[in-house]
């Protein structure tokens, strides 16, 4: 990007990032909040409760255990007025302040970092319950965009870069992401998913369905 006119500042340190993210993590009454959302969709919504959603089997194995456990669980308390929740709101403000101060101190318009901390797992494999991505943007309430950055050498799995900007920097992020994609041409369409033809395309995997994807899911998935 430097040869295309970008000024690179490296390194830029946002520390302690894990501590900032952990402090901004709010407790969740998962079943209560999801039920509120589903009920807000109105009578035409296909599912009105966690129980109905869990019974549908229209989800992948990594979500099976938590969704089915939520469906069977007793109603949860509303934690939105709890001390822990209010402390997490303060943590989000602290994270946002840290990001903005870091960008101003280093005189940068965009922060660039890996989209995910690890490569994607194979279909059907259990996903490790670790921090797979860096949710700085949504946690801090700042705009971000992810772009393809190429593939790993050993397994040839896709990796991405995330660009984060200050408040209302969406136009700059879109322009920067587009410039990066055009300059690097790192994106490669996977087999079976090339450019769409003018007429209706054939489905690459016509036998695939959510039902097949969840076959064999156990409550311990």
- State the average pLDDT for the chain: 83
Give the pair of three-digit tokens for residue 207: 């036998």
* Confidence label for 59 from pLDDT (cuts 50, 70 and 90): confident
Three-state secondary-structure class, residue 104: helix
Residue with tokens 């456990």: 69
pLDDT (average), residues 199-204: 62
Task: Burial-class residue 189 by CB neighbours within 10 Å (0-12, 13-18, 19+).
Answer: exposed
- For residue 96, pLDDT over 80 is answered with yes
Q: Number of helices (H) and strands (E), helices first, in the chain?
A: 8, 3
Pairing of strands 110-114, 144-151: unpaired
50 against 123, higher pLDDT: 50
- Helix (H, G, I), strand (E, B), or coil: what is residue 166? coil
Q: How far from chain centre, in Å, is Cα 8?
A: 26
- CB of 57 within 8 A of CB of 6? no
- Higher-confidence residue: 2 or 40? 40
pLDDT bin (cut points 50, 70, 90) of residue 176 is very high
pLDDT band (50, 70, 90) for residue 221: very low
Highest mean pLDDT pick, 105-114, 199-208, 211-220: 105-114
**4 CB-near residues (< 8 Å, 6+ apart):** 179, 183
Q: Report the candidate in 113, 111, 116, 96 with the shortest Cα–Cα distance to residue 173.
A: 111
pLDDT digits (tens, 9 = 90+) for 20-33: 888 988 877 888 98
Give per-residue pLDDT as tens, 122-143: 666 655 554 556 789 999 999 9
Q: Measuring CA to CA, which residue among 114, 110, 104, 115 is closest to residue 170? A: 110
């Amino acid at each position: 990007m430097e040869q295309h006119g970008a000024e690179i500042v490296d390194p830029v340190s946002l520390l302690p990032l894990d501590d900032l993210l952990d402090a901004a993590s709010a407790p969740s009454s998962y079943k209560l909040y999801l039920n509120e959302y589903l009920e807000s969709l109105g009578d035409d919504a296909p599912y009105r409760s966690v129980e109905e959603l869990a019974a549908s089997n229209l989800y992948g194995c990594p979500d099976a255990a938590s969704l089915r456990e939520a469906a069977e669980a007793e109603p949860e308390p509303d934690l939105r007025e709890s001390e822990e929740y209010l402390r997490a709101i303060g943590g989000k403000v602290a994270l946002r302040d840290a990001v903005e101060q870091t960008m101003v101190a280093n005189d940068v318009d965009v922060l660039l970092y890996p989209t995910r901390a690890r490569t994607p797992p194979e279909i059907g494999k259990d996903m490790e319950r670790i921090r797979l991505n860096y949710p700085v943007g949504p946690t801090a309430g700042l705009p971000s965009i992810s772009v393809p950055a190429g593939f790993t050498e050993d397994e040839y799995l896709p990796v991405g870069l995330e660009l984060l900007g200050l408040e209302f920097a969406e136009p700059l992020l879109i322009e920067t992401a587009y410039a990066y994609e055009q300059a690097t041409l790192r994106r490669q369409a996977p087999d079976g998913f090339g450019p769409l033809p003018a007429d209706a395309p054939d489905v690459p995997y016509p036998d695939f369905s959510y039902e097949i994807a969840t076959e064999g899911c156990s409550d311990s998935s």
